[in-house]
Amino acid sequence: MPLLSLFLFLVTCGAALSSTGYFWHITDMHWDPDYQVTDNPLAVCPSASDPVKNPGKWGNYLCDSPWALINSSIYAMKDIFPNPNFIIWTGDDTPHIPNEKLSDEAVLRMIGNVSQLIQHVFPDIKVYAAMGNHDMHPKSQFPATGHLIYNRTAELWAQWLDAASIPTFQKGAFYTEKLLHQKGQRIIILNTNFYYNRNALTVDLSDPAGQFQWFDDVLSRASTAGEKVYIIGHIPPGFFEKKRGTHWFQENFNKRYIEIITKHSQVIAGQFFGHQHRDSFKIFYSNNGFPVSAMFIAPAVTPWKTTLAGLQDGSQNPGIRLFEYNTDTLQILDVVTYYLNLTFANTWAPRWEKEYRLTEAFQVPDATIESMQTVLDKLSQDKSHLQKYYEYNSVSYDLGECNEWCRTDHICAIKDVDYSRYKNCIKSGGSSGMNEMWLLWLSVLILALLFRYN
Ligand SMILES: *[C@@H]1O[C@H](CO)[C@@H](O)[C@H](O)[C@H]1NC(C)=O
Ligand SMILES: *[C@@H]1O[C@H](CO)[C@@H](O)[C@H](O)[C@H]1NC(C)=O
Ligand SMILES: *[C@@H]1O[C@H](CO)[C@@H](O)[C@H](O)[C@H]1NC(C)=O
Ligand SMILES: *[C@@H]1O[C@H](CO)[C@@H](O)[C@H](O)[C@H]1NC(C)=O
Ligand SMILES: [Zn+2]
Ligand SMILES: [Zn+2]
């Protein structure tokens, strides 16, 4: 008996020790090649919407990234954790400037420069990369029928792509591979730019490039094969928490995305997206109201102030993110976000520091779907947790108070990816749908008991 306990103890320890892996997530670098430090407020960067005072070497809150910042972010990853199991990179390499100032060649050159930098700093690390809406010319116009930019990007990423990934990449910039060639583990790289409501080339299509059908099929096969799957992409479904009612997907595409995630949630171990330049997450629910999958939305490297009308404090500090995961089950164990305080960098030195560790900041055991639901419950119920989350949302740039209006926007964007549910959530001031669900069940139960004993 003691021997058996010892054996079990050793097995448990062994499993616990051997199974933690790490991957970096980096996104939205938005290089502005014309950024310059000058006294002329109109000549600092073409990506700014207002005159820029006091620009610094490492960038400015109104501008997209100078090369020095992008370089610094990739070297920071190398400094902080040099040997991740892999890296995910979810796109957007070019500056927020008008299409007329860009071209296929300009976009490809910038994708090429950033790719080269990552390849130089992490020569032996596998990178899974998705294209962002700014990695196309004209921006966001991703055709469903192939494009020179898909072909050339596949060439730039040749060292990262399995040969079998190239045909779907050339067709529509999506692909799937066994994660690190391991049995039972898979990653799916989506091109969700097809679903963006600003993409005029796909508005009338029901399934651009057949990606949804392909996605559904890949997940069905993964299920049959007993695999666990990570999903990455650039533009997330659902709503943007910083501006009420703002969403990116066309509604029919949003529905289809949710249907596929819900149908296959058993095999999905995590979804990782960018585009919002904000640190947040989303929860997907089963039809009977149970949390089944979490999407982690990583902050950007660019500090650029968004030009979305009506949005206050639209800047953020540059952020990068390290995930800890169980290499057997792909369960997410923790999320550690590092950042550059841009003001500090420009005044003193570019110091990348830990911003927060999810399990510490929100007192949860890990970053599984159950724990992310607990985080959401804490945000809904506790002002101090909400405030903390709010400050992290802009990577510790906007330290203002998250009031009741703000709370509603954030809670509803996290828990209601579906458009009509979101509208109801906003109407009800962000009261928790999960709690309503439980209350409903509880009432049914109580009624049933009353009925029985009367
Ligand atoms: C990139 O960063 C590294 C590490 O800090 C530094 O040695 C190198 O000079 C930088 N390169 C450029 C082009 O900024
Ligand atoms: C970007 O790549 C081009 C070649 O495509 C090269 O001439 C240029 O020096 C690179 N710029 C940087 C900052 O790496
Ligand atoms: C991309 O490459 C494929 C395979 O070589 C080719 O069939 C296709 O015509 C190319 N597309 C473009 C737009 O260059
Ligand atoms: C960023 O740095 C500035 C200048 O050192 C400092 O005033 C500010 O408090 C810092 N912000 C955070 C969130 O630490
Ligand atoms: Zn972006
Ligand atoms: Zn984007």
Tens digit of each residue's pLDDT (9 = 90 or more) over 71-124: 999 999 999 999 999 999 999 999 999 999 999 999 999 999 999 999 999 999
- Each residue of 339-360: pLDDT tens digit? 999 999 999 999 999 999 999 9
Contacts by residues 309-316 (CB-CB < 8 Å, ≥ 24 positions apart): 310/243, 311/242, 311/243, 313/394, 313/397, 313/398, 313/400, 314/242, 315/61, 315/62, 315/394, 315/397, 315/398, 316/277, 316/278, 316/394, 316/395, 316/397, 316/398
171: Cβ–Cβ under 8 A, 6 or more apart, which residues? 145, 146, 150, 209
> Per residue in 289-321, pLDDT tens?
999 999 999 999 999 999 887 787 799 999 999
pLDDT digits (tens, 9 = 90+) for 371-430: 999 999 999 999 999 999 999 999 999 999 999 999 999 999 999 999 999 999 999 998
Question: Which long-range contacts link 8-16 to residues 24+ away (Cβ below 8 Å)?
Answer: 15/328
Q: Model pTM?
A: 0.93
Of 279, 271, 292, the closest CA to residue 241 belongs to: 279
pLDDT, residue 18, reads 57
* CATH number for the domain running over 16-452: 3.60.21.10
Inform me whether the pLDDT recorded for 1 exceeds 50: no
SS3 42: coil
**Do 91 and 128 touch, CB atoms closer than 8 A?**
no
Angstrom distances, CA of residue 225 to CA of 185, 220, 222, 229, 292: 10, 9, 5, 11, 20
Q: What is the dihedral of CA 247, 252, 258, 259, to 10 degrees?
A: 170
Three-state DSSP class for residue 185: strand
Confidence of residue 184 (pLDDT cuts 50, 70, 90): very high
CA of 113 to the centre of ligand 2 (A): 6
Residue 68 CA, closest ligand 1 atom number? 14
HSE, side-chain direction, 13 A CA sphere, residue 109:
8
User: Distance from the CA of 152 to the center of ligand 2, in angstroms?
Assistant: 16
* Any atom of ligand 3 within 6 Å of the Cβ of 203: no
User: Best substitution site from 338, 340, 343, 346 to test ligand 4's pocket, by max atoms within 8 Å of Cβ?
Assistant: 343
Q: What is the pLDDT of residue 447?
A: 72
Ligand 4 within 6 A of CB of 343: yes
Rg (CA), the chain: 22
Task: Give me the pLDDT at residue 435, please.
Answer: 52
Q: Could you report the per-residue pLDDT of 233-286, keeping only the tens digit for each? A: 999 999 999 999 999 999 999 999 999 999 999 999 999 999 999 999 999 999
> Which residue, judged by its Cα, is nearest atom 6 of ligand 4?
344
Ligand 2 centroid to Cα of residue 76, in Å, is 21
Residue ranges per structural domain of the chain: 16-452
Confidence at residue 311, expressed as pLDDT on a 0 to 100 scale: 81
Residue 170 CB less than 6 A away from ligand 3: yes
Pick the residue whose CA is nearest to atom 1 on ligand 2: 113
